[in-house]
């Protein structure tokens, strides 16, 4: 039978079949995951900030936080981190695309060919379900 575990406001499911499969594949088995699994966060410098949030947005934030069994401050940090990771991911993808463009330009004679390849990459990325558009 699968068991739901809660750890610091997060839920994870203990799948007995998956655990057995891991023993066969890797020779490891966690009999009590809540005792053997420990999340370790590296300490990071923090700075307090003060910001104004519309009351209705704060009320909604508190309501969602309660449903998720966490503080609204933790939920706010989660949302900020989530948005930040998305933006950083987009910046990284843009850099990769810029580098690919530079490399292709060095190796291909036709600017049209380079543009067509870059356009194809953008379209493939959009079709793959990625919500971020790559800026030219």
Residues 34 and 62 in one domain: no
- Based on the fold, state whether residues 63 and 33 are members of the same structural domain: no
Q: Which of 5-9, 45-49, 94-98, 100-104 has the lowest mean pLDDT?
A: 5-9
Same domain membership, residue 130 and residue 80: yes
Confidence of residue 106 (pLDDT cuts 50, 70, 90): very high
Based on the fold, state whether residues 65 and 119 are members of the same structural domain.
Answer: yes
Q: Give me the number of domains the chain comprises.
A: 2
Domain limits for position 94: 52-136
CA atoms within 13 A on the CB side of 82: 6
Same domain, 23 and 2: yes
The pLDDT score that the predictor gives to residue 134 is 42
CA distances from residue 58 to 67, 68, 75 in whole angstroms, order as listed? 14, 15, 11
Is there a single domain that holds both residue 35 and residue 86? Answer: no
Q: Are residues 72 and 19 located together in one domain of the fold?
A: no
In this structure, the chain runs to a length of 136
**Is 62 in the same domain as 40?**
no
Q: Residues 60, 40: one domain?
A: no
Average pLDDT in the 24-32 region?
58
């Amino acid at each position: 039978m699968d068991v739901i575990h809660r750890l610091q406001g997060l839920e994870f499911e203990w799948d007995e079949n998956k655990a057995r499969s891991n023993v066969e594949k890797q020779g490891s088995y966690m009999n009590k995951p809540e005792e053997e699994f420990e999340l370790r966060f590296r300490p990071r410098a923090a700075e307090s900030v003060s910001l104004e949030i519309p009351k209705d947005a704060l009320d909604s934030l508190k309501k969602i936080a309660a449903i998720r069994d966490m503080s609204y401050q933790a939920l706010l940090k989660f949302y900020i981190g989530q948005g930040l990771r998305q933006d950083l991911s987009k910046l990284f993808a843009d850099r990769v695309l810029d580098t690919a463009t530079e490399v292709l330009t060095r190796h291909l004679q036709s600017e049209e060919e380079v543009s067509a390849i870059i356009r194809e990459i953008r379209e493939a990325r959009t079709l793959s379900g990625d919500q971020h558009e790559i800026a030219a």
